[in-house]
Amino acid sequence: PNDPTLLQNTPFESLWLREKEFGVEGSGLIVAYGRTIPSIKGDGIQFVGCDAVLPPPSQDISHLFSQMNYKFNNNHFTIKLLFGRFSSQTVHLEEQMLVLKGQGDNESLLIQKNISQTLFVLQNSQLNTSHLSAQLWGAEVALIRSQGNGMSIIDGLRVIGVKQERKVVHCSVIEVISGELSLIDIQIKDINISENQNEINSVNERRNKMKGLIEMKENAKVLYIEKFSITNINLENINKEQRMSSIMMNAGHLKLRDSTFLGEAYTSIGSAIRAYPTGPSTIDVEGVLFKGQGDGQGTNGGAVYVDMRQFDVQIIFKRCIFIGNKADYGSNVFIRYATTSQRINRNSFIGCTSIVLGPVGQARIALPIDVQASPRNVLSLNFRWPAFIIIEPIL
């Protein structure tokens, strides 16, 4: 209060209660001053992770997603967005199809309204987007969650970061809780990710901290991805035990077709696909480019890492290209297994090619794949060099 006499009669209010009142984390302590900069002293006070995460300015369009405003036609809804940035509370789709149309990928932007709310929850539903982008700004939950027993579909989604605020607290873009999800023509780019480095002790805790931009949870059945690309993903302040991947697989069956993981992705640590299965699983990949994955510092599997020590994973790669991936072991693929009977063979890699940048700025192409195991039941998949072919100078 401005009146000093009222200040004495004002009850003490803790910082977390003030945060609850404002509805924004990090707003517990606010200091406003005029010409003179105040001097603030504290004794026995710690501020840990107190940077406020504020959403960028946006127009709330939650009302547009209420059924009374839909143009109802057999559970098929279409919403057209104008120019600008828009936000909404969680939109639940159950056995429905929602079509979102904007004015351009950089002209119509859609964000989560607050830090703890998922934007879309799909249950056996379909979400089609065109000429707009979903923007990540620091929310602590996934942008989209898929659940239910049937199939959900996401088509045409574009996801970008916030240019003015390059740091984004880690969250998944899409998580598959249960059932099946099909991703078609998805692009994720220009995102900086930072993660809390709090204590991580047990193996289970470490696995829980291993995140992905797309995550298959324990009850997920199938994730089908077609025409997917990811570029310019930068990691900052990531603990070596907190692995980050494009796709984090805990269960189910992954099918990946005609997709691209480009060289800018994961400038610190990470890989395109990381699998810690909680049951028998399959990884089926065809026509995919893996370029510049991993940094080669304390990492295993520059592009793909599979842990088969508890459950078998059926693996098949067809017509895939690996370019300039790095890791201490398994620059392209690293598989850890319990017994030699789990070892995969050359038939798991059909028509795959590795291109390695030469020391003088030239590219080399190597065939075929060489499958070897170490005494520690670790399988590292690099590429054997019976000969190499100079393709062209790299400018």
pLDDT value at 288 more than 60 = yes
pLDDT range class, residue 236, cuts 50, 70, 90 = low
pLDDT mean over 87-92 = 92
CB–CB of 257/183 below 8 Å? no
The stretches of the chain forming alpha helices (DSSP H) are 4-8, 15-22, 203-209
Q: Which residue has the higher pLDDT, 226 or 374?
A: 226
Q: Provide the sign of the torsion angle of the four alpha carbons 56, 183, 142, 124, taken in this order.
A: positive
What CA–CA distance (Å, rounded) separates 156 from 100?
10
Most confident of 59-68, 110-119, 163-172: 110-119
pLDDT value at 295 more than 90 = no
Q: What is the DSSP letter of 63?
A: G
User: Which residues lie across from 111 on neighbouring strands?
Assistant: 87
Tens digit of pLDDT for each residue in 107-124?
999 999 888 889 999 999
Instruction: Look at residues 8, 45, 7, 9 and name the one whose alpha carbon lies nearest to residue 28.
Output: 45
Q: What is the DSSP letter of 164?
A: S
> What is the predicted pLDDT for the residue at 172?
84
Q: Provide the sign of the torsion angle of the four alpha carbons 238, 239, 244, 250, taken in this order.
A: negative
pLDDT range class, residue 393, cuts 50, 70, 90 = very low
- Per the structure block, which two tokens stand in for 113? 């309204």
What's the N-to-C CA distance of the chain in angstroms? Answer: 65
What CA–CA distance (Å, rounded) separates 144 from 321?
30
Rg (CA), the chain: 24
pLDDT mean over 267-287 = 82
pTM over 0.85? The answer is no
CA distances from 340 to 269, 328, 369, 373 (A): 29, 22, 19, 9
pLDDT value at 371 more than 70 = no
Q: Please give the mean pLDDT across all residues of the chain.
A: 76
Q: Which residue has the higher pLDDT, 18 or 323?
A: 323
